[in-house]
Structure 1
Amino acid sequence: MKPNYRRCISCRKVGLKQDFWRIVRVFPSGKVQLDQGMGRSAYICPQMSCLQAAQKKNRLGRSLHASVPETLYQTLWQHLAQSNPQNQV
């Protein structure tokens, strides 16, 4: 089976799908959530620099054509802190 490649919306790095976080705008509700559901998706590297740029420049919102709730960014920052204890935010 062919590997699935995706591109980070922040740093534009291409990599395997499982190396990224997936953020979804669920169809038809339009709710934006982390890694669940079918709909328009955006992928982001699990790195501090990518998450900072995505939040500051609204890259997730523009990519998903929807407003991204602040709670989702807080969840992503928590995941980042848990996965990289040396990179405390």
Structure 2
Amino acid sequence: MKPNYRRCVACRKVALKVDFWRVVRVYPSQVVQLEEGMGRSAYLCPQIDCLKAARKKNRLGRALKTSVTDSLYEELEERLYQQETPIR
């Protein structure tokens, strides 16, 4: 099987699909959520710079062709914080 490559909407880096966060606009409900669901998808590097650029320039909203709520960005920030903090 060929590896699946995707591109970050913020920095435009190409990498394997598993290296990114997936944000989905679910069809037909138009709800924007993380990781699961069928519909239009956008991919984002799990880095603070990419998250800030995507939020500032509305990169996720344009890629998904819908508005993205602040709560989704906050959830992504929380995920980023959890990745950086080791669990003891």
Q: Tell me what 1:10 maps to.
A: 10
Q: Tell me what 1:63 maps to.
A: 63
1:40 aligns with 2:44: no
Normalization by structure 1: what TM-score?
0.94
Distance in 2 (CA, whole Å) between partners of 1:17 and 1:72 is: 20
Which stretches of structure 1, 4 residues or more, deviate above 6 A after TM superposition?
none
Distance in 2 (CA, whole Å) between partners of 1:16 and 1:84 is: 21
3-state DSSP of counterpart to 1:41: strand
Normalization by structure 2: what TM-score?
0.95
1:81 aligns with 2:73: no
3-state DSSP of counterpart to 1:63: helix
Aligned residue pair count: 86
- Amino acid aligned to 1:33: Q
3-state DSSP of counterpart to 2:10: coil
- For the aligned residue pairs, the C-alpha RMSD in angstroms reads 1.0
Distance in 2 (CA, whole Å) between partners of 1:76 and 1:33 is: 11
Between the aligned residues of both structures, percent identity stands at 64
Distance in 2 (CA, whole Å) between partners of 1:49 and 1:34 is: 19
3-state DSSP of counterpart to 1:3: coil
- Unpaired runs of 5+ residues, structure 2, are none
